[in-house]
Homo-oligomer: A and B are copies of this chain.
Amino acid sequence: MRNIKLTIEYEGKEYNGWQKQPNHLNIQGEIERAIQSVTREKVEIIGSGRTDAGVHAFGQVANFKIESEFPIEKMATAINSQLKKSIRVLKAEEVSLEFHSRYHCHQKTYAYIIDNSDQGTAIYRNTTYHVPQLLNVEKMQEAANYLIGEHDFSSFKSSGTSSKSSVRTIYQAQVLKEQTRVVIMLTGNGFLYNMVRIIAGTLVEIGLGNKQPKEMQDILKAKDRKKAGKTLAAHGLFLMKVDYDENKISGKEL
């Protein structure tokens, strides 16, 4: 038995999200199908987490167990040959049998990309969210700083979610201006359902001057979804990378 770790890029637009489900095009199902055509073996891949319909990834991670002796150095290219071009396996690596892409995830980084130009962009319209009014990036950064640390993020979670605890830790929260783009980058040990998109919606309110940066603290404390901004559209959101603590995976600590 071998355990294979994949790093995957996808454009979410045409998919009904990561998770396998009947009668809806989904990323997990497409990759499983491609692996099966390459290896003639039916596998189930485990993603580091789901992404919603329309959400993109530059660095989703998944793993699967397989008996096939298909050479690892040819695996990414072979799987890609069986996939639509809106999904690309960037890397395939053989890892220890213990590795589990969801349980062993150490931290994740998401980016929410805003096109802050007057008239919007034609070329990047499917991979940015358009806000025509000029955003105050300094105020957005000031507000984002309140998110760093361990907090109960109940105000930033969509209702109907099943997570037991709403406590998560944000390690980094950056708001970067790149020409006419504003990029919100969040690194944390985990994210609640719609959390990044609600944080982005709240930061946009602050960037527009509708809320003051220090209100972010009050919103956190309130633990009330109604205090935060709206959930921004899926097509601005990217799962950038998933990090693992290599020491924990490779050895006895598991």
Question: Which residues of A does B touch, CB under 8 Å?
Answer: 9-11, 56, 58, 76-77, 80, 85-91, 117-123, 125, 127
Contact = CB atoms under 8 A, between A and B. Distances in A.
Contacts of A85: 120, 122, 125
Contacts of A10: 122-123
Nearest to A127: B123
Nearest to A76: B119
A42 B167 CA distance: 60
Per assembly, the copies of the chain total 2
A77 B76 CA distance: 44
A123 B90 contact: no
A77 B58 CA distance: 32
A211 to B, nearest CB: 26
A88 B9 contact: no
Nearest to A123: B11
Nearest to A89: B119
Contacts of A9: 121-123
Contacts of A56: 123
Contact of A122 (B87, B120, B121, B123): B87
A91 B122 CA distance: 13
A86 B119 contact: no
Contacts of A77: 119
A58 B119 CA distance: 13
Contact of A90 (B11, B88, B89, B118): B118
Contacts of A127: 123
Given A86-B125, A125-B86, A119 B80 contact: yes
Contact of A86 (B11, B91, B122): B122
A205 B123 CA distance: 28
